[in-house]
Chain A
Amino acid sequence: MKKTVFFGALAVAGVAAGAVAAGTLDDVKARGKLNCGVSTGLVGFAAPDANGNWDGFDVGVCRAVAAAVLGDPTAVEFVPTTGKTRFTALASGEVDMLARNTTWTFSRDVDLKFEFVGINYYDGQGFMVPKSLGVTSAKDLDGATICIQTGTTTELNLADFFRANNMSYEPVPIETNAEGQQQYLAGACDAYTTDASGLAATRASFENPKDHIILPEIISKEPLGPLVRHGDQQWGDIVRWTLNALISAEELGITSANIDELAKGTQNPEINRILGTEGDLGAMFGLDKQWAYRAIKAGGNYGELFEKNIGENTPIGLARGLNAQWKDGGLVYSPPFR
């Protein structure tokens, strides 16, 4: 009896919670702060620095949205989420958006009732091996022992890859990336596999990074992007087009350095439309004309964010690769601002 009452109460509360719907923009404006779910710490993507300020590639997206909506890139409350708490944090309304290197998959988009607004990083699973092993391709890894994080999609991808190539391997299960580093360095496994960005960051932290190579094969697709809840199209549009503004800005050559110059008006109508000197795109989703100007100014365009946080001049040293603009042979492509 007691249990029935309890579950009844939960059900009522659950129905009430389901009514969390439209009006995220109004909520954020009323609060004066954007609640943005980020990782509890991932090299280059999100981490608090020595002064407690969050920094990273995903963090840059949060700051751009805050700048677009509230006019202040620092008006963000960063809510650290783990792989297990991230989806409930978003679904329950604890955060307004999630920028936490989350892979866009069918079930997350459809079944979990989220809306991926775009892709800010194209990742994929790769392998790292010691140079001394003399291996140059993942196809040579037949019979190797491989360190792998348990309970992730990487585990399944690995099994698929080896089966498709008719090879065998010996898995060494590990729990976290940190443990993986230790095991790999201690020689517990011949190869270490995880997302290529993670491999690069791990390799960069080694005492002698040059003794290790990342094999060229990428065995899975991991499109990472920010996401919002289903049901509030206006808010989804704002986050989507803020990301697109950053991407278009790079394509059109708008940088944080020259944006003030360009905002006075240019010969290029698309730049003018983005920066609000021509037309009024912002009004269509409830923002002012200058929203994109502020978003780009907050941390620079997509390319600038990339170079500053994970690019080749950082310790992580990721090449643009798939994440180059479409003009440069990558996949990063924004629909036109019109």
Chain B
Amino acid sequence: MSTKSYVRTEMLPEKAPPPTEVGIIGWMKENLFSGWLNSLMTVITAYLIFWVLAAILPWLMNSVWNAGSLNECREILQGEAGACWGVINERFNQLMFGFYPENLYWRPVLAFVLMFVALAPVLFNPMPSGLKIAWGVFLVIGCWMLYRVGAPGLAYVVFLVAGGAFFLDRLASKMVWFSALFPFLAVWLLWGGTAWNVTMALFGFVIGYLVYRFLSPAVGFLFGLILAVLITVAWWLFLAGPVAATLAGSIPLELAPVESRKFGGLTLALMLGVTGIVGSLPLGIVLALGRQSDLLIVKSLCVGFIEFIRGVPLITLLFVASTLLNLFLPPGTEFDIILRVMIMVTLFAAAYMAEVIRGGLAALPKGQYEAADALGLDYWKAQRLIIMPQALKISIPGIVSTFIGLFKDTTLVSIIGLFDMLGWANAIRANAEWTGIVWELYAFIAFVFFIFCFCMSRYSMYLERKLQTGH
């Protein structure tokens, strides 16, 4: 048998796969031309892409960056197609800051940079090492912005402090305190005036906490809480103002005040967007829990609120904020228009948020609730330790979608006469120099919005990966 020569005793060497199955050709064959239908689609798509690029690329390549008016652009272009970015160049500050006084630009920029410093410990805990590089890059950009708007000294300070804090991991966890203080700091930076106003507003929380801390053992949890809230509100309404005024009289601590009418452009969009996002999440959670509650009044209030807000377009609410409230409030009431819009936007987003989170709650298996009960946890502990962490994780894509939608919805304020970026686009085009310009302005605005929305979307994917507990 062993003399039979046709039995192979050694392996044949591997042959290279046929060239049509590997490399670019193989990839194309598999992904682009795997059948006659796919081949047809590929050809059509390729043609469409070519067609779009053929229209856009020459226009982009032929950009004019320095021109004082549309006609000047046209003269430079000599009848050829080309983008006239001169308008962005000339009106960049207005698109970013609105009417904000030019010598105070460092304040919104500083607030913007500090916002990320404040967000980082909340969003990334602990910060992944890959992101530290991105963070460093962002800090450099932020400080460069501060430098550009005329606050070089401040740029160095922020760079050193914020940079140092994040590369020393031990400090990073302490930064949460800064996150809690940031809203007050931002209000002071943006609107100016005396620092005592926000300090006293902040002090209200301290008072509330102290009251709760020392009274609740004596009068019980619920009464302690109610008393704390009442005393805090009373402090804000009646005492905080006079005390702040008195303190400001002796130690001014003042920044030049800026009226709400001066806000505009991207600054306004970010202010509305961030307030809405930060405010709507906790409010949404409370509403979602309220809607599932067994307490009749709580439940009907929550259902009524959610259904009412969701049944009304945001535009209507904005009109209520801008015009109806004006008619109903007693004349002479100074109720800041931006504050009114912020409240409306937050309430609007909160109603949607509540339903997104309710979806997460509904997706949670009943066993989880029962397990929490079996462990003897009370309602709040069960929510905090078992239910919410899982429900929120499930809801992440929906939550971030709501955030992105909310941020884009801020452009609607241009309809009630606030100058956000779209409002400015209209105003800029009402100048004799720039009337007739369309694509450049809107392309720029779209680009700016894309950056923010894309970052939010990427962050939500990062968060989903981080919280992934499946196998």
Residues of A that sit less than 8 Å from B by CB: 10, 13-14, 16-17, 19-20, 39-44, 46-50, 52, 77, 79-82, 84-85, 88-89, 91-94, 178, 181-182, 201-202, 204-207, 314-316
Select the stretch in B117-125, B138-146, B288-296, B322-330 that faces chain A: B322-330
**6 new A-B pairs (CB below 8 Å) besides A82-B416, A201-B435?**
A10-B328, A13-B328, A46-B430, A85-B417, A206-B436, A207-B74
Among B86-109, those with CB < 8 Å from A are 90-91, 94, 99
Please name all residues of chain B whose beta carbon is closer than 8 Å to the beta carbon of A19 when the two chains form the complex. Answer: 331
Please name all residues of chain B whose beta carbon is closer than 8 Å to the beta carbon of A42 when the two chains form the complex. Answer: 430
Among B424-438, those with CB < 8 Å from A are 426-433, 435-436, 438
Instruction: Give the docked Cα–Cα distance between A49 and B87 (Å).
Output: 12
Please name all residues of chain B whose beta carbon is closer than 8 Å to the beta carbon of A80 when the two chains form the complex. Answer: 417-419, 423, 427
Please name all residues of chain B whose beta carbon is closer than 8 Å to the beta carbon of A182 when the two chains form the complex. Answer: 438
Please name all residues of chain B whose beta carbon is closer than 8 Å to the beta carbon of A77 when the two chains form the complex. Answer: 261
- Given A77-B261, A82-B417, A84-B415, decide whether A89 and B430 contact each other with a Cβ distance below 8 A: no
- Given A81-B417, A88-B326, A178-B429, decide whether A204 and B435 contact each other with a Cβ distance below 8 A: yes
* Nearest CB on B from A60, distance (A): 15
- Given A85-B323, A315-B432, decide whether A93 and B261 contact each other with a Cβ distance below 8 A: no
Is B327 a contact of A178 with CB atoms below 8 Å? no
13 sampled A-B residue pairs with Cβ under 8 A = A16-B330, A40-B430, A41-B427, A41-B430, A43-B429, A80-B423, A81-B417, A82-B416, A93-B331, A181-B436, A202-B436, A207-B74, A315-B432
Bitwise interface map of B from 301 to 334 toward A, beta carbon under 8 Å scored 1, else 0: 0000000000000000001001110111111100
B185 contacts partner chain A, Cβ-Cβ < 8 Å: no
Is A40 a contact of B417 with CB atoms below 8 Å? yes
Please name all residues of chain B whose beta carbon is closer than 8 Å to the beta carbon of A52 when the two chains form the complex. Answer: 94, 99
Instruction: Give the docked Cα–Cα distance between A82 and B428 (Å).
Output: 15
Instruction: Give the docked Cα–Cα distance between A315 and B434 (Å).
Output: 11
Is A17 a contact of B329 with CB atoms below 8 Å? yes
Closest to B442 in A: A178
- Given A40-B423, A48-B427, decide whether A79 and B328 contact each other with a Cβ distance below 8 A: no
- Given A52-B99, A205-B70, A314-B432, decide whether A92 and B323 contact each other with a Cβ distance below 8 A: yes
Q: Looking at the complex, which one of B319, B331, B415, B419 makes contact with A17 (CB distance below 8 Å)?
A: B331
Best-buried of B99, B261, B322, B428 by chain A (most CB within 10 Å)? B322
- Given A82-B415, A205-B435, decide whether A47 and B329 contact each other with a Cβ distance below 8 A: no
* Nearest CB on B from A41, distance (A): 3
Please name all residues of chain B whose beta carbon is closer than 8 Å to the beta carbon of A205 when the two chains form the complex. Answer: 70, 435-436
Please name all residues of chain A whose beta carbon is closer than 8 Å to the beta carbon of B416 when the two chains form the complex. Answer: 82, 84-85
Instruction: Give the docked Cα–Cα distance between A315 and B69 (Å).
Output: 11
Please name all residues of chain A whose beta carbon is closer than 8 Å to the beta carbon of B326 when the two chains form the complex. Answer: 88-89, 92-94
* Nearest CB on A from B307, distance (A): 14
* Nearest CB on A from B322, distance (A): 6
Is B427 a contact of A178 with CB atoms below 8 Å? no
Instruction: Give the docked Cα–Cα distance between A10 and B329 (Å).
Output: 8
* Nearest CB on B from A308, distance (A): 11
* Nearest CB on A from B341, distance (A): 13
Please name all residues of chain A whose beta carbon is closer than 8 Å to the beta carbon of B330 when the two chains form the complex. Answer: 13, 16-17
* Nearest CB on A from B120, distance (A): 33
Closest to A77 in B: B261
- Given A47-B427, A89-B323, decide whether A178 and B415 contact each other with a Cβ distance below 8 A: no
Is B327 a contact of A14 with CB atoms below 8 Å? yes
Closest 4 CB pairs of A and B: A205-B436, A41-B430, A92-B326, A88-B323
* Nearest CB on B from A38, distance (A): 10
Please name all residues of chain A whose beta carbon is closer than 8 Å to the beta carbon of B332 when the two chains form the complex. Answer: 93
- Given A52-B94, A79-B261, A205-B70, decide whether A20 and B427 contact each other with a Cβ distance below 8 A: no
Closest to A52 in B: B99
Is A92 a contact of B423 with CB atoms below 8 Å? no
Instruction: Give the docked Cα–Cα distance between A18 and B427 (Å).
Output: 33
Instruction: Give the docked Cα–Cα distance between A314 and B432 (Å).
Output: 8
Is A48 a contact of B417 with CB atoms below 8 Å? no
Bitwise interface map of B from 331 to 342 toward A, beta carbon under 8 Å scored 1, else 0: 110000000000
Closest to B418 in A: A80
